[in-house]
Chains A and B, each alone.
Chain A
Amino acid sequence: MINKKQLDRILLNVEKPARYVGSEINSIIKNKEDVDARFVFAFPDIYEVGMSHLGMHILYNLINSRENIWCERTFAPWIDMEEEMRKNDIPLYALESKDSIREFDMVGFTLQYEMSYTNILNMLDLGNIPLRSSDRNDELPLVIAGGPCAFNPEPLWEIIDLFVIGEAEEVFVELLDIYINEKKKGYTKLKFLEKAAQLEGVYVPQFYNVLYNNDGTIKERKVINEAGKEIISKRIIKDMDKVFYPEKAIIPYIDIVHDRVMLEVFRGCTRGCRFCQAGMIYRPVREKSVDTLIQQSEKLVNATGHEEISLASLSTGDYKNLPELACKLLDKYESQRIGLSLPSLRLDSISYDLIERIQKVRKSGLTFAPEAGTQRMRDVINKNITEEDILSSVKSAFDLGWSTVKLYFMIGLPTETEEDILGIKNLAYEIKDLFFKRPKEKIKGNLKITVSASCFVPKPFTPFQWLPQNDVEQFYSKAKLLSKEIKDRKITYNYHDPKLSYLEAVFARGDRKLSKALIRAWEKGCKFDGWGDKFDYNKWIEVFEETNISHEFYTVRERSFDEILPWDFINAGVDKEFLIKEYENSKLEQTTSDCRQGCKNCGINKKIARGIC
C-alpha cells in the first residue's frame, strides 16, 4: 500500500483532492487475501470524465459480483497531482485499496478516444509498469484494453497484451476464469495469452506479424503463434434483458460530467449514418423491455438518490416503446422531483404532452444534430432528416417555451463544397427567423443559438473508411469562412481544433508503426492531448519526423478497396461489400433508409447476430 500519510500531505496542494481518495458510497472494498484475482479498471482521463462513463460502472459491478475477484478503479491524475506523486515517489494506485497498480493481476484500460492513448502510457509509467508488452514478465500485471477504439487496436500493439473486441460483459468473466485457473496451475503470461486467444473476441497482438509493401501499405498479416486466430470476431450480448446490469452505482463526492442514473435502453443503431462508427460497430439493435428498465431504474434510484434519470443509447428517440417508458417513469418519479433526460432526442418521436411533462420536472437544454447544412450533404452522409423535419421540430420546441438551441455540424465531409458550408449558416439563420416570425405573444425568452462545427474524422468500419481527410489548412479555411459569415448577436459559433481532429484521424486509421510514435510522444511529454490547452501539435509533428512516419499517409491519402486495412482482421459483423455499397450510394447522393424499415443486408445477422437482428 502507498504511504497514506504522505498522500494526505500532498492532497491539499492539488486541485479537487477528492478525485484521489475513493471511499465513495457504493464503492466496493474486499479483503485482498480472500480473492483469487485483482483487477483494476483504468480510465485514461481524469476522475470526472471516467466516473461519467456507463461502461465503467457496469464492469466494476459485474466483476465485483464475483466474490473471488476484486475490481478497483484508477484514473489519470491531473498534471498537478502527477507532479506531486512523482516528487514524493507515490506510484499510481487504485482508489479502493490504495495499492500500487503494479501489484494487480490485471490492469484494464478502456479506449474511448484516440487522444487518450498517451495517458495510458503515462499511467503505466506512474505505476512503475514497463510500457511495452515485451518488457513485462510473468510477475507484472497483464495490461488489457477494450472499448470502441479497440476495433482498430494496432497503434497500441506494442503496449497492450490483450484486447477485448466488442461488448465485454460475457468475455470478461470467461477471461478472468481462465486467468484464475492458470494461476492455480502455475501461471505464465504466454500460456495464459495462448489460452485466452481461444476465446471469441480476444486479440493478442504478439501472435501476429505484419509485413509491409514499399509504399507503407500492408502486404500480409502472418500468424506466428498458432494460438492466434486469423479473424477476430467481436462479441455481442444477445439478450439485453438477461445481461448483467448494476443495481447500484458509485456516487461521486464531487461534481462530475454526467452525474445521474444512467439507464441503457438499447444497444446499436438502425439509422446507418455513413460517418458514424458507433452506428456500424454496435450493430445489431437490441432493446431492453420496459419492465426491465423500470426495475433497473427503481434499484438505481434507491441506491444513489440521484435527481435525474438519463435514458442512454445511440439514439434514444428510436426506442420502440419510448412513450410508454417515459410515461411510466414520470408517473413513478414526478412526485419525487426526479427528472428525466433524453439525450439525442428527436422531437418527432415523442408527443408534445410528454415533452411538456418532462419539462415540468426539470428543464433541460435542447440539442439538434443536423450534421450538415444542405440536403445534398445530408444525403451523402445518410443523415436521414430533411430541413422540414429540423425546422418543424425546432418550431415546436420554441412553442413549448425553449429559447436556447444547440446545433451540431461537421465540416470536411466527403464531396463538401462551399455551398454546403454556407448551408450551415443558412440553417442557423432560418432557425432564428423562425423564432421571431411567430405571433408576438408566443415569443418568450431570449433566443440563443449555438452552432458547433467539428472536423470530420474518417473511422474504420464506416463507408468512409477509405476516404482522405481534409488537411489542417482546409479545415481552418472552412471553419474561418463560417466565422466570417455568421455575424449575428443571437448566434454563437464555435469550431473544434482542426489540429486535434487531424491527429485523431492519424490514430483512428493507424497501423502498428504508430506504436513507436506514441511512445516517443509520451517521452516528449505529450499527455491529456484531448484537453485543448495541453495539446501540443508541434511536438507531435516533431515526433513523426523523428520516428520517420508520414502522418499524411494516414490522413489525406485515399485507400483503394483492395488495400489490406490495418483493422481488416477484425470482424465487426458488417460486411466490406455493404460498406462499399454504402460508399457508392453516398457518391450518388442516394440515401439508405433506416433498417427498421427493412433489412439492408449489412451482414450482421449472418455471422454475429445469428437471427436476433
Chain B
Amino acid sequence: MNKIKGKFTKTKNLKYISHLDTLRLFQRAVRRAKIPIKYSEGFNPHPKITFSFPLALGIESIGEYFEMELEERINEDTFINKMNSVLPEDMKVLKAVYTNDKESLMALSVWSEFILNIELYEDIDENLIKDITNDIISNGKTITRIRKKKKKIIEKQINTKDLIKYINIKKLEDKRICVEAILKTSSSGSLKADELIYILKDSGIKIEYFEAMRNNILNKELDPLVK
C-alpha cells in the first residue's frame, strides 16, 4: 500500500473555508500537482483523501493532517515540493511520510492543542486568572449544547472536566490574555475553541475579540499524529 500521510497549515484567509472546501481544494491541488493519486470507484470518482478531526470555521491551524493513497510511490520530498508549488500561500504541506497505519487519522485524533489570543474590554486581575484556571481544571464547567433533531430541540448539559487536558492563561499587556489549552477533539467527545471562549466569558472574563490557532493534533499518547 502506498498510503502517504502528512501535516499541513491552514492560516489567514483560509480560516474562512470549511472542511468540505478544504477537501475540494486538496483534490484540485493534487490534480494540478500531477500526484498519482488513487481514485474512488463509482459514478463520480474522486481522489481518495481523508483528514484528521475537522477544524471549525474561523480558526487557523499549523497542525492539520491529511492522508491519501497513491497509485505509485513518489519520493516524500518530491511530494511536498509538488504540493507546495500549487497550494495557496496560506496552506502549505510541512511533512509527509508513507505509512502502514490501519487506523484512520480521524480515529487517531484525540486531543488538539490550541492557542487563543484574546482581547478584553477591561484589564483582569492575576488572582482572578488563577482562580478561574484552577476551577476549570479541578471542577470543570458546565456547558449547554443545543441540538435540533427533526423539529425537536434537544438540550444537553455537559461537564468539561474530561474534555480539557491542560489549560494555561497568561496575562499580557494592553488588556490582552493568551490561553494555551489542550482540548479533546475525538469522535467520542470534543470541546470547541468557541466553547472554551464561552467558559471563560461565563467565568467572568470580559472578552471583546479572540483569534484562535490550532497548533497540533495529538493521539491518545499525546504525540502528534505524524512525527
Contact = CB atoms under 8 A, between A and B. Distances in A.
A9 B17 contact: no
A253 B18 CA distance: 9
Interface of B: 12-14, 16-18, 20-21, 24-25, 27-32, 39, 43-46, 57-58, 86, 88-90, 209
A17 B13 CA distance: 9
A307 B45 CA distance: 9
A306 B28 contact: yes
Contacts of B86: 25, 305
A254 interface: yes
- A23, A251, A253, A339 interface centre (most CB from chain B within 10 Å): A253
Given A23-B13, A337-B39, 15 more contacts: A12-B58, A17-B57, A18-B17, A253-B16, A302-B32, A304-B28, A305-B28, A305-B29, A305-B30, A305-B31, A305-B86, A306-B28, A306-B31, A307-B27, A307-B31
Q: Report, nearest first, the 8 A-B pairs whose CB atoms are least far apart.
A: A305-B28, A305-B31, A305-B32, A17-B16, A363-B43, A18-B16, A21-B13, A253-B17
Contacts of A11: 16, 58
Interface range for A: 20 to 34
B209 A9 contact: yes
Interface string A291-319: 00000000001111111000000000000
A255 interface: yes
A32 interface: no
Nearest to A19: B16
Contacts of A303: 32
Nearest to A259: B24
A246 to B, nearest CB: 16
Contacts of A305: 27-32, 86
B17 A336 contact: no
B31 A25 contact: no
Contacts of A363: 43-44
A197 to B, nearest CB: 41
B84 to A, nearest CB: 13
Contacts of B58: 11-12, 17
A254 B31 contact: no
Interface string A23-34: 111000000000
B14 A253 contact: yes
A23 B21 contact: no
Contacts of B45: 337, 361-362
B16 A21 contact: yes
Nearest to B87: A25
Contacts of A302: 32
A337 B18 CA distance: 25
Contacts of A12: 57-58
B25 A253 contact: yes
Contacts of B209: 9
Nearest to B33: A305
Contacts of B14: 253
A336 B31 contact: yes
Interface in A2-18: 9, 11-12, 17-18
Contacts of A336: 31
Contacts of B21: 18, 253-255
Interface in A255-308: 255, 301-307
